[in-house]
Structure 1
Amino acid sequence: MIQGTARRPFASIWNTIAGLTRCGGSTGATILSTLDVTPAPRPPRNPFRGLSRRARIGIGAALTLVAAIIAFLVIFDWNWLRGPIGRYASAQLQREVAITGDLRVHPWSFSPKAEAFGVRIGQPAWAKSVDPQAGQMARVERIAVQIKILPLLRGQIVLPFLAIDRADVRLLRDKEGRANWTFGARKSDKPLKLPAVQRLVINEGRLRVDDRQHGALFVGTVNAQERAGDKGGRFVLEGKGDLNRSAFVAQVTGGPLLNISPSRPYPFDADIRAGSTRITAEGKVIKPFDLGRFETQLTVSGADLNRLHDLTGLTLPNTPPYKVSGHLVRKGDRYDFEKLSGRVGDSDLSGDLFVLTGRERPYLEADLRSRRLDFDDLGSLFGAAPATGRGETASAGQKVEAAQRDATQRLLPDATLQVDRIRAMDAKVSYRAETVNAPNLPLRKVSAEVVLEKGVLTVDPLALTFSRGDLKGKVRLDARPATPKTDIDVRLLNGRLEDFIPFKSDGKPAIEGAVMARAKLTGTGNSVHRAAASADGSVTLVAPHGQMRQAFAELLGVNASKGLLLLLSKSDKETPVRCAVADFDVRNGVMTTTALVADTGVVLAKGRGTVNLATERMDFRIEGDSKKPRLLRLFIPITIKGPIMAPKPGLDVSKTLGQGGVATALGSLINPLAALLPFVTTGEAKDADCAGLVSEARQQGAPVKVGQTTAAKVKK
């Protein structure tokens, strides 16, 4: 008690001095210096002072847990997680996934790293039935990945490093569109989205893509890495192999990956070659590596646009060699090919188009035009080889096809229609050609509106503008049945005979006048030739009036004296064409005449015959009768036989033998002058009922107007 009591005065004195010092007064400092007394140091502040006992226990437990986690991570064997990770991934991907090698994790960094060895991803259940040799979808010797923690906290995924070593990947899509790269309920056509990768390495990758829906098979290798060079290096992705048995090489290069950012576009170049097809691109990915959004200046060239199907899955027409360029923009499921320009064969082509994917069938819409169309380039659309003469553009294969066509003298192409491709796509295409180069036709313009929907291809309207007259109509191809069906209904309005029969004598047309026609046919077959060979319908041609060189008209009746004299004298005398009608009934590919009449001022000619569209041969017989008395009238029918491409005119001399026999008998029995009687005609042939013939033709659909009939037009 005494000690305790004795301490209190000293404590009071000390507190007084200290108070004076804190107040800044000099008195306290003077006293302290006089007494030479140093105040005792203040004890350290307890950080837990003021906390409740429960709070102190909680903080201690948390610190202990952190220490335990750190210790656990140091001594933990990550291979223990291979099974749980594999089972979780299998459930998510709906197929077997396993890590058969080591699983290594390096967490002590702001960019932790993980490595998995021996990764295996199995095929979906249906794959075995499609391809028993499919094996596993993917086998990867090593996958290594790093991720940045700080950007991840901001919602951005940035991978400083991603390496894939010795991967063997087998991608498979069946004819129904099921793809083994579709996981769960996600759509297989969804654009690929990858995080920003600052260093990507693919070593000795093997890739097999078996796309049975599009009929494409690729087998090759893939490698990727960053290479030193100009501008700090560049990223290079290379693929080599075979695509549908043709050599395939692809190289994609981009800017350095080191400074890549999810907020900046990433530039790239691409060069892809598949057989004769080449695609070059120079563009940028708007948001790396979201491949659903990019734009590029694209150039595509090759031997045939149809061959792009293997690379794009689009059904494009057969064409001669081509080269087109434009600006390609992808926004998700939409591809816009803007300001397209280039050449297809010997024709220029320009316009815009877009493609929509992510649908049951891709959809293409285009507005295309040509300043100058080379007409033979259109033949390729139907499987025919283009012209191969000097200055013409054709591939090596098309030159072989053209040689075979010329050797067999066939007109209708027999290339098999790819009905599966027609059923797999929808389209709407508008095309027009401002001028046309067609040496053997008076063709000036072409336009067509094409719609492809659910396996039905319709060209309506189809319009061909001649120097005089128009051909208009509709074509419908139904590719839904096992054997496609084709319907054609076309009409020629206000045409001119002299444009389609360009024969001239002394610079003047041999025949002039209006001509109208209609063809309405239905056929089945998977090529133009096979559809024509089975066609049913009718074909009608009408020339309601006109003028003709009399010399040629006389020869229709084989009036040797008059016709030859006119020809030899180079007479330009003309005779009216009162009417000319050719009407055919078409059954099972054979066109048979129901009417074949040409009525001129001096000769009435009638005929009959057939055109076999299967064999592409014709056989006609024409007999003419004079309307005026003629000497040396030979009763010889004119024949036209042979291939459609090269028919040969001739004379049926069987009747001449009879005519000559009568002359011989008369000469021997009566007198020599009587022998001339069989060669003399009194000209008893009457005018044909042109009004009736034209009326019947009009009922068959020939676009003849009442004002165009003979009564109104024929010159007397």
Structure 2
Amino acid sequence: MALSAKGRQNVKRIGLVVLAVVFTAIAMIGAFPVGMFRGAIEERLSAHLGAPVQIGAVGRDGIFSFKPLITVQELRIAQPDWAGRGNMVHARSIQARVAVLPILLGRAPRMEDITATGLNLSLVRDRDGRANWEGREKTPARDGDEGRGLAGVAIRDGHITLRDEKRSLTLTGSFKADGTGVRAEAKGWFHEALATVTFVGAPIVGVASDARYPFQLQLLSPLLQLDARGASVGALNLRTMSLDIRAKAPNLKYLDDVIEAGLFGTRPIDLTAKVRHSGRDWFVDRLSGRIGSSRLVANANVLKRDERTKIDADVHFSEFGFDDLSDAEGKAKDAAIEKRVGPRVLPGTRINLAKVGPTDGRIRFKADRLLLNSSAFRSLAGTIVLEGKLLRIENILAGMSSGRMTGLLEVDQRGGVRHPKLSIDLKFADGRLETVIGSKDVTGPLQGRVALVGSGDTIREALATADGRAGLAVEGGTIKRTFAAVLGQDLGKAIGAVLKDKDAEVPLRCLVVGFSATRGELIARDFVADTGISLGTGRGRISLGSERISLSISGQSRNPSALRLEDPIGVGGTLSSPTISAAGEPPGSKLDGGAMISAVGKSIGRALGIGKKERSFVTPAPIDCRAAARRVL
């Protein structure tokens, strides 16, 4: 339907009014008195930072411009209440060329050619990680947000102080940014050692926001020497950058104070790495160097997804020593425990996961050569899988001088429990008994298994409460004739073997030792040694809490003996220092000359008919070794 003449006239009037409003708005923006914004700027900044903000004055150049030069005089941002007195930021003046037309489109104004004069920064972070520069609410980077570099920034006469209690770092220094580049230098303390931090970068003035920006950062201290050289995409855009890093320190914990990755104490480190940062993600393309005597090559991706950290890494040690993962403080604690409770075999490695954050990971590790003295273990490989408070070490493969150990270790602290649950299921196969014990007095193919579940903050504490089982089996080996005679409590054959040929051997048909574990007590359920001339059986227990041994071994010769030991052989002491006793002495008593004379005296007395009546001789039946092995394995 066509408009009437009056309708067309009204449309023209409305259009002219709209155009007038638009042109008026544009004119007002171009000539807006920015001083009127001072109160609003102070209010918004104060609310965001959680600290009072004061501005002396706000002005602009000229009467009309869509890119006016805005000047802020005497900007002061006070410290948050928790950070102490004084100002977090004080600038005598800040000038910036501001493009105001984006305001018409509902966007924030764009700033260019920023110049700050007399800029003083006082940065504070407490032990809990609360930082005054983060404001009331931290705003994490969004996925895919690679940030933007600074463009056209100049800083004259800048000064900075940093008190970072979480990093144990305190610094005071100066910085500037002009046409010659960016330079900052500060001195202070890292823990209780002197430290110097320097930053050198290319000029920011006249650089595009997405241009390659080279820089170098150094921290020099007796506790840490850190050198990082690289470039960001855009000036000082720390969300997208590539770095070559070299770090040397007497302890890995000092490097962790800076990078905050949750690392542990170690022996001295010397590491180099090629690292990339993109958005919220880190990529370690190559890490190499040494920790103590251990040499490694590694790579890792550390991704931030759905407010969780996800790690995927490969770590390859050409040489690896477990002692390298313990610093002087850890060794001192172990020494104090050993002094209090005596030498221990079971490791005191801490397994509590309470401080592990929202982190998932899969780390494949391999050690070609283990730096262990007097150990049958030669190499180690496996996969560490972390799902928050659940840690699994899967596909464990430990190469030994003979045989291999495979299995699984799991630490579970889900559900807010105070102490984690440790589950161990390890199998040993294709080994040799003589290799494990380090002696050819007893030989044979060896199999074994340990399946235990317990709770505690360390491996030692968890095993002290463990339930489960442990066992080993040998079928078809050899044993010194002397030892076989002792197992059968045949004193006559033992003395004869020593006098005739102390190195003579007899078959070891079967050796099976099986324990059931209840609340950290290993109780012998199957304990038999079947040799060509004797049959020995055992009973007793081993405490995983105290590591004390209380076992007794009784035996019978396969042939009648006129001179036999009357009392069982006792095995006592601790796992680190076992002892043997005889002649009815308590298990663990020293096997000295008096005990031996007593044992021989009892045997001779029985042979002469003194004492208890001799039982009739019955030849012991052979053991079904495979059936016995199945029970314990």
Fold equivalence (TM over 0.5)? yes
Secondary structure of the residue that 1:357 maps to in structure 2? strand
Structure 2 vs 1, CA of residues 607 and 274 (structure 1 numbering), >3 Å: closer, same or farther?
Answer: farther
* Aligned: 1:120 with 2:77: yes
CA contact (8 A) 1:602 1:628 kept: yes
Q: Equivalences for 1:594-633 in 2 at 5 Å?
A: 594-633=525-564
Change (3 A) 1:690 1:532: same
Matched residues in 1 for 2:146 and 2:188: separation? Answer: 24
Residue in structure 1 matching 2:40, options 80, 84, 87: 84
Q: Which of 404, 409, 424 is residue 475 of structure 1 equivalent to?
A: 409
| 1:325 equivalent in structure 2 | 272
- Kept after mapping to 2: 8 A contact 1:627/1:683: no
Residue from 294, 300, 305 that aligns with 2:247? 300
Note the C-alpha offset of 1:279: 2.6
Counterpart residue identity of residue 87, structure 1: E
Give the CA deviation at 1:107.
6.2
Question: 2:565 aligns to what SS in structure 1?
Answer: coil
Task: Report 1:450-529 matches (<5 A).
Answer: 450-480=384-414, 481-503=417-439, 509-529=440-460
- Residue pair 2:338, 2:344 contacting (<8 A) in 1 also: yes
Q: 2: distance between equivalents of 1:491 and 1:415?
A: 21
What TM-score do you get using the length of structure 1 for normalisation?
0.71
**1:345 and 2:295 equivalent?**
no
Q: Which of 170, 184, 187 in structure 1 is aligned with 2:140? A: 187
- Whole-Å separation in 1 of the counterparts to 2:491 and 2:524: 28
Q: Which amino acid aligns with 1:495?
A: G
Gap change, CA 1:233 and 1:486, over 3 Å in 2: same
CA distance in 2, matches of 1:219, 1:660: 74
5+ residue gaps, structure 1, are 1-57, 124-131, 211-215, 386-394, 504-508, 667-672, 703-716
Instruction: Return the alpha-carbon distance in structure 1 between the equivalents of residues 222 and 542 of structure 2.
Output: 42
Partner of 1:499, secondary structure, is: helix
Q: Distance in 2 between matches of 1:84 and 1:397?
A: 54
Residue 269 of structure 1, aligned match among 202, 216, 229: 216
Q: Give the Å deviation of 1:260.
A: 4.4
User: Which residue of structure 2 lines up, in the alignment, with residue 442 of structure 1?
Assistant: 376
**Residues 405, 114 of structure 1: CA spacing in aligned structure 2 closer, same or farther, 3 A cutoff?**
same
* AA in 1 matched with 2:113: L
Q: Which has the larger radius of gyration?
A: 1
Q: Provide the residue aligned with 1:207 in structure 2.
A: 162
Work out the CA distance in 1 between the residues paired with 2:603 and 2:348. 51
Q: Distance in 2 between matches of 1:280 and 1:520?
A: 47
CA shift at 1:531, angstroms?
0.9
Other-structure match for 2:329: 397
Structure 2: how far apart are the matches of 1:173 and 1:193?
A: 30
When the two chains are superposed, the root-mean-square deviation of aligned CA atoms in Å is: 4.3
Alignment correspondent of 2:317 = 370
Q: How many residues align?
A: 589
Could you say if the C-alpha distance between residues 252 and 564 of structure 1 is closer, same or farther in structure 2, counting changes exceeding 3 Å?
A: farther
Q: Residue 497 of structure 2 aligns to a residue in which SS?
A: helix
Check if 1:165 corresponds to 2:119: yes
1:101 paired with 2:37, answer no
- Note the 1:47-86 alignment, pairs <5 A: 81-86=37-42
Q: CA separation in 1, counterparts of 2:494 and 2:210?
A: 88
Shift of 1:104: 5.5
Q: 1:372 Cα deviation (Å)?
A: 2.8
Unpaired stretches in structure 2, ≥5 consecutive residues: 1-18, 103-108, 586-594
- After superposition, the Cα gap between the structure-2 partners of 1:137 and 1:262, relative to the gap in structure 1 and judged at 3 Å, is farther
- What is the rounded CA distance, in whole Å, between the counterparts of 2:357 and 2:388 in structure 1? 6
Change in CA separation of 1:357 and 1:304 when aligned onto 2, cut-off 3 Å = farther
| In 1, Cα distance between equivalents of 2:320 and 2:435 | 19
Deviation of 1:242 after TM superposition, in Å, equals 5.7
Mapped to 1, the partners of 2:332 and 2:128 lie a distance apart of 34
Offset of residue 663 of structure 1: 5.4
Partner of 2:519: 588
Distance 1:497 1:645 in 2: 19
Please state if 1:252 is matched with 2:199: yes
Q: What SS class does the counterpart of residue 634 from structure 1 fall into? A: coil
Structure 1 residue matching 2:56: 3-state secondary structure: coil
Instruction: Give, in whole Å, the separation in 2 of the partners of 1:140 and 1:371.
Output: 50
Give the whole-Å Cα distance in 1 for the aligned partners of 2:87 and 2:550. Answer: 65
Distance 1:500 1:206, change over 3 A: same
- Cα separation, 2, equivalents of 1:192 and 1:309: 25
Aligned position for 2:10: none
1:6-45 alpha-carbon deviations (Å, 9 max, x no partner): xxxxxxxxxxxxxxxxxxxxxxxxxxxxxxxxxxxxxxxx
Q: Matched residues in 2 for 1:374 and 1:253: separation?
A: 38
Question: How many angstroms does 1:148 deviate by?
Answer: 5.3
Shift of 1:593: 1.0
Decide whether aligned partners of structure 1 residues 425 and 274 sit closer, same or farther in structure 2, where only a CA change above 3 A counts: farther
Q: Which amino acid aligns with 1:200?
A: I
Residues 405 and 411 of structure 1 are in contact (CA less than 8 Å); yes or no, is this contact kept in structure 2?
A: no
2:54 and 2:203 map into 1 onto residues whose CA distance is 32
The structure richer in strand per residue is 2
1:314, 1:272 → 2: CA distance? 18
TM-score normalized by the length of structure 2? 0.80
CA distance in structure 2 between the aligned counterparts of 1:570 and 1:603, rounded to whole angstroms: 18
Distance 1:301 1:616, change over 3 A: farther
Residue 128 of structure 2 corresponds to residue 196 of structure 1: no
Please give the per-residue CA displacement for 1:594-623, whole angstroms capped at 9, x wherever unaligned.
121111111211112222111122222222
Quote the sequence identity (%). 23
1:437-459 per-position Cα deviation (integer Å, ceiling 9, x unaligned): 43323333311111101211011
C-alpha displacement of 1:416: 4.4
Measured against aligned partners, the alpha-carbon deviations of 1:468-505 in whole angstroms (never above 9, x if no partner) come to 322111111112222111111111112210110212xx
Given candidates 172, 182, 189, the residue that maps to 1:235 is 182
Check the 8 A contact 2:320/2:367 in 1, yes or no.
Answer: yes
Once residues 222 and 360 of structure 2 are traced to their aligned partners in structure 1, the CA distance between those partners, rounded to angstroms, is: 27
Q: Distance in 2 between matches of 1:658 and 1:367?
A: 59
More helix by share: 1
Aligned partner of 1:225: which letter? F
